[in-house]
Amino acid sequence: MSHFTYRDGALFAEDIPLARIAGEVGTPFYCYSTAALTENYLAFADALADLNGLVCFALKANSNLAVIRTLARLGAGADVVSEGELRQALAAGIPAHKAVFSGVGKTRTEMEFALTAGIGQFNVESAPELDALSHVASGMGKTAIVALRVNPDVDAQTHHKIATGRSEDKFGIAYEDSAALYARGETLPGIDMAGLAVHIGSQLISLGPFRAAFQRVAGLVRELRSAGLGVRRLDLGGGLGIVYDSEEPPHPTDYAAMVRDEMADLDCELVFEPGRLIAGNAGVLVTRVIFVKHGASKRFVIVDAAMNDLLRPSLYDAHHGVEPVIEPAPGAALSRADVVGPICETGDVLAGSRDLPALEDGDLLVLRSAGAYGAVMASSYNTRPPAPEILVNGDQYDVIRARQSYDILLARDRMSDWLTVRASNRRSRSSSTRQQIALTRRSAPAPSVGSSPLTSAFILPRPGINRLPTR
């Protein structure tokens, strides 16, 4: 059931009209539903409840602390891919022993941090990573619990940029090399080989590729055991798809039945890493129409959200449903339009060729299914403050990440010493600095930039350049 529905002609998030939030918070903004997050998490966790499993929410899908805490309260662990995400999981209340650390390029510093925190599992993706982890852990007098991530060479039949289990992908250890590396891992100091991990991609809309990959992994478990090696844990990754448009992904209960078929007799603890399934349809992006422009061959609805807020359409040609916040009258005429953002890129199209009713400046639209891989991928490209995030819970809402001010955006940058007037007062000057200072003396004072740290005193205009011609 969606928790973003029309009531009396206005789109609500649970019990709150989205137009009210837009009026109070401004646009664009992400809006998540607590009820949807809860329902999605429980649908997955309950389906697998009999399987001795831990559900670790993949923070890469949505790492807002309030979202993580909502899931942590339901019992979720975390799948993290960086020290930053591990810090977020811990800050949101997920204990380290319920966190798994995935990713092909963990640095030694990240390994140390995770070991100090007491992380539950490292998913190791290469021989050099295993050696490095052994070195770091044994040097700290600790033991790293390891699942070797196997690349089963299975095509997930999803968008090629989110397929991770083919032999040409950078992820996991080549299937044929896995048994030997597992055996070597057993001999390394500071390493406890717990089992295997697999994740073949995201937004899978059929069970076939999962089943093929799990069968490969099960075969490897049997091979390892027959060689006398212990395998007690299997991490089956994430990947279950959701409905963006007209897809018909498997229900978690069908997925669970398949897992039971393939894995139950192996008698292993299981770990799952769903992300999109939990957060994707629990969030929308709300945006306001700035202009409607009738081009030579198209209607463009130019909105105040852009690819810096929601990258998926530009990056993956992804589809997000678009709906007006005020429900169109029954039978309202629809016509084709591209919903585009203000960014100076032709690719800044949030939704192309959609049948939409007449729209005008100031109207609100939602982009659906934006709760996963939305805000986490935001940037400030074109020096646009990324959209804030809102969490709704029944009839209350809260701003769980504020909109960044321009002051904060500008304050991220520092002016190099050699570009400041201050440098002119230093004794030890390089000759190029001296030239710069000479220029400064001849130049007019720069305009003030308000409360940013780059006040006029530090700006060094170059005379004759970057000025409009004078008559």
Ligand X SMILES: Cc1ncc(COP(=O)(O)O)c(C=O)c1O
| Secondary element (H or E) of residue 29 | strand 29-33
Sign of CA dihedral 130, 131, 136, 140: positive
Residues in contact with 437: Cβ distance below 8 Å, sequence separation at least 6, in sequence order:
421, 423, 424, 429
Opening angle at CA 315, ends 43 and 296, nearest 5: 120
Is there binding between residue 165 and ligand X (CB under 6 A)? Answer: no
Is there binding between residue 154 and ligand X (CB under 6 A)? Answer: no
Q: Which of 153, 273, 323, 389 binds ligand X (CB under 6 A)?
A: 273
Site size toward ligand X (CB under 6 A) is 19
Whichever of 79 and 262 has its CB closer to ligand X, that residue is 79
Q: How far is CA 359 from CA 290, 353, 453, in A?
A: 10, 15, 41
Q: Work out how close the CB of 241 gets to ligand X at its nearest, in angstroms, rounded to a whole number.
A: 7
Residue 31 is among the residues annotated as catalytic for this protein: no
Residues in contact with 23: Cβ distance below 8 Å, sequence separation at least 6, in sequence order:
none
Region of residue 118 (left: phi > 0; alpha: psi -120 to 50; beta: else): left
- CB of 100 within 8 A of CB of 77? yes
Subset of 54-73 contacting ligand X (CB under 6 A): 58, 60-61
Active-site residue (options: 31, 56, 268, 344): 344
Is there binding between residue 282 and ligand X (CB under 6 A)? Answer: no
Is there binding between residue 136 and ligand X (CB under 6 A)? Answer: no
The window from 124-132, 188-196, 238-246, 359-367 that contacts ligand X (CB under 6 A) reads: 238-246
Is there binding between residue 98 and ligand X (CB under 6 A)? Answer: no
Backbone angles phi, psi at 171, to 5 degrees: -90, 145
Whichever of 11 and 58 has its CB closer to ligand X, that residue is 58
Q: Work out how close the CB of 252 gets to ligand X at its nearest, in angstroms, rounded to a whole number.
A: 11
- CB of 235 within 8 A of CB of 27? no
Q: Which of 38, 67, 79, 454 binds ligand X (CB under 6 A)?
A: 79
Distance (Å, whole) CA 93 – CA 65:
9
Binding mask 321-360 for ligand X (x = CB under 6 A): ----------------------------------------
Q: Work out how close the CB of 138 gets to ligand X at its nearest, in angstroms, rounded to a whole number.
A: 26
Active site residue ranges: 344
For ligand X, the binding residues (CB under 6 A) are: 58, 60-61, 79, 102, 162, 164, 199, 202-203, 237-240, 273-277
